[in-house]
Structure 1
Amino acid sequence: MSNRFGGRFSPGTRTQPALPPTPRHPHEGRPKWITLAATPFLLGAFFQGAAGMVTDLAAFGLVASGMWMTREGLVAQATFQARRIAKRPAIPRKLFGGVLAGLGLGLGAAEPGIWAEAGLIGAAGLALHQISFGLDPWRDKTAAGVDSFQQDRAQRMIDEAEGHLEQMRAAITRTGDRRLEARVAMFDASVRHLFDRVRDNPGGLSSARRYLGVYLMGARDATMRFADLYALTQDQTARADYESFLDDLEKDFIARADRLLDGDRDALDIEMSVLRDRLAREGLTGAATRVDPADRPALQSAEAQTLDDLLRTPFPGQKVPRD
């Protein structure tokens, strides 16, 4: 049965709130070109004996696996750099990818009696890989005023919420409707937007706890019940109600994420105002005697003949030094 797909400007398409773009590493597309460069191992394997075929196939598999792991490492690094507070990746994927690629190059170049040369080729491949793609993040990224206890508690809550999202995706897959799967994927992206805000501001976990716990569990249960019903009956009324439910819930999640971001802006305004007041009390800035531009006198002095004379024009309340 065909499915109807709609775009942004299609009739009847609901306008979805704008979400921040997914972070991408500038070198994320390079590993596939290295995999393509290793295809001679794959193509030449079928024109050799059994030992040569197995060796070349293993060499291509190692290089392809290394490049896949390298790409995953680049994705993890882009996500790590985009967040204000983040933990380093648990697995150094780029390092492991470089090791696998080096082993593949060395194995592909191996011949009886030249094992040392093959090892040098593999080591050179590992070194070039690290130069091209860099190292994995080795330290956690923290922010001032955020302790590790708050950060760990927020991360545990996010891990539980990600489990609820995974169950939602698995349930909606049972319907076999790709449009519904895409709709749940959009809701998933909105929830992850809230995840990012909680990671950046673990102190706001108390206000987002209901969204990551009770509300998300309710969305998971509703999705599972809807998937079971829709797979049997194809009830279009139930489908419309479910999509409307996701629309309302998605707006609530995005609104909560925006309020957390507004809290960061309020904290910034408070910090700047406190610093201005302190500098004004110490006489290190003109913030206390700031003059509104509308109250400045017009520079119409007949005696002002040079730029220095214009700059000496007194402001209201300013004492003019005597010569």
Structure 2
Amino acid sequence: MAKRFGGRFSPQPRLDENDPRLSARPAPGEIRHPLESRTRWVTIMAIPFLISAFWQDPAGLALHLLAFGSIASGMWMTREGLQAEAAYDARRVARRPAIPRKLFGGILTGLGLALGAYVPGAEAGAGVIGLAGAMLHWLSFGSDPMRDKGMEGIDGVQQDRVHRIVTEGEAHLKAMQDAILRTGDRRLEARVALFAAAARDLFTHVEDNPDNIGALRRYLSIYLQGARDATIKFADLYAQTRHPRARQDYETLLNDLETEFAARRAKLLEGGRADLDIEISVLRERLAREGVRPPPTPAEPAELQSPMTLDDLLIPRESEKPRR
């Protein structure tokens, strides 16, 4: 795909990919599996079934067309399964795909090879070829994720709610990035990309901690929807007027929202640490009641908890003075 030129010495430099403010979480459309290109090549290799079909009798025509359609459908299912697997691997907390797409893709691929190799009187040979094709598909693309990851102790209903809200938030971010393209300004595109990165950091935190969705729902729905509407209106206005005040106000809005997202995420992290401290203290009290003494927490001596001077060392304290 062609990309607009931009670089260090360009009057409108493009976004620096090494910017530390960028999120490690990619956008849903940017997640790619390294084996996706194989599905395209397998589909291309099945084209001879499509071409040779028109030189066959009616039965052969149908078989060859079905063979090509089955292989192409299997590769489409496999590509969808690879994308689902890439999204699964990119998250620390994820559910297994609801449909084992790679498994169905392998079955369709084997069926297509069996149909293409079918000859009357040699059905066993066609079945062996189809079975071998399905096995080679499994060896080439692997199997689908078959178990949930990081879901122990997480409410499934809350996780589904988080998924719906995050999907809605991603749609708002995509609309913002599409709208800002109308301005033709690379700096503004980069600024919106940085804002999207900050929002996706919050998405990652919510997916890892679904219990916090109640506190973040307003930020993930109302605020992002407002940012989307503001971006659309600004893009229409700035594309016509190029008014610097409108640009400044829009960038100030993004700065305020991005700061609010970062502050909210930090506050939730601090709240998580406080909850952990409370749970640890309650556990220690229960162990003490049952006669099991937990290992003592190493504490600093009292005299080391505050800074001491030379006078403190030479002059005895009131409690250490000898009694008369």
TM-score range, shorter chain: 0.5 to 0.7
SS in 2 for 1:278: helix
Contact 1:95/1:136, CA 8 A, preserved across alignment: no
SS in 2 for 1:219: helix
| Stretch moving more, 123-132 or 195-204 | 123-132
| Stretch moving more, 248-257 or 177-186 | 177-186
Query: Which of 79, 84, 103 does residue 73 from structure 1 map onto?
Result: 84
Contact 1:161/1:212, CA 8 A, preserved across alignment: yes
Unaligned ranges ≥5, structure 2: 7-11, 304-324
* 1:213 partner amino acid: S
Distance in 2, matches of 1:284 and 1:88, equals 41
* 1:29 partner amino acid: P
* 2:143 partner amino acid: G
Distance in 1, matches of 2:78 and 2:131, equals 16
Does 2:33 align with 1:28? yes
Alignment of 1:96-111 (within 5 A): 96-111=104-119
Alignment of 1:212-251 (within 5 A): 212-251=220-259
- CA shift for structure 1 position 182: 4.7
What's the counterpart of residue 50 of structure 1? 54
What's the counterpart of residue 317 of structure 1? none
Distance in 1, matches of 2:236 and 2:220, equals 24
Distance in 1, matches of 2:268 and 2:167, equals 19
Contact 1:63/1:105, CA 8 A, preserved across alignment: no
Closer, same or farther: CA 159–46 of 1 in aligned 2, 3 Å: closer
Contact 1:67/1:101, CA 8 A, preserved across alignment: no
Contact 1:154/1:198, CA 8 A, preserved across alignment: yes
Closer, same or farther: CA 158–62 of 1 in aligned 2, 3 Å: closer
Distance in 2, matches of 1:257 and 1:206, equals 13
Closer, same or farther: CA 9–150 of 1 in aligned 2, 3 Å: closer
Query: Which of 15, 19, 23 does residue 23 from structure 2 map onto?
Result: 19
Contact 2:13/2:186, CA 8 A, preserved across alignment: no
What's the counterpart of residue 151 of structure 2? 142
- CA shift for structure 1 position 217: 1.8
* 1:205 partner amino acid: I
- CA shift for structure 1 position 137: 3.4
Q: TM-score, normalised by structure 2?
A: 0.67
Contact 2:74/2:104, CA 8 A, preserved across alignment: no
Closer, same or farther: CA 104–169 of 1 in aligned 2, 3 Å: farther
Alignment of 1:156-171 (within 5 A): 156-171=164-179
Distance in 1, matches of 2:42 and 2:284, equals 59
Does 2:46 align with 1:41? yes
* 1:32 partner amino acid: S
Q: Deviations over 1:80-114 (max 9, x none)?
A: 5x21xx44434333233323433443345445654
Distance in 1, matches of 2:135 and 2:289, equals 57
What's the counterpart of residue 313 of structure 1? none
Q: Deviations over 1:251-275 (max 9, x none)?
A: 3223322332333333223323332
What's the counterpart of residue 300 of structure 1? none
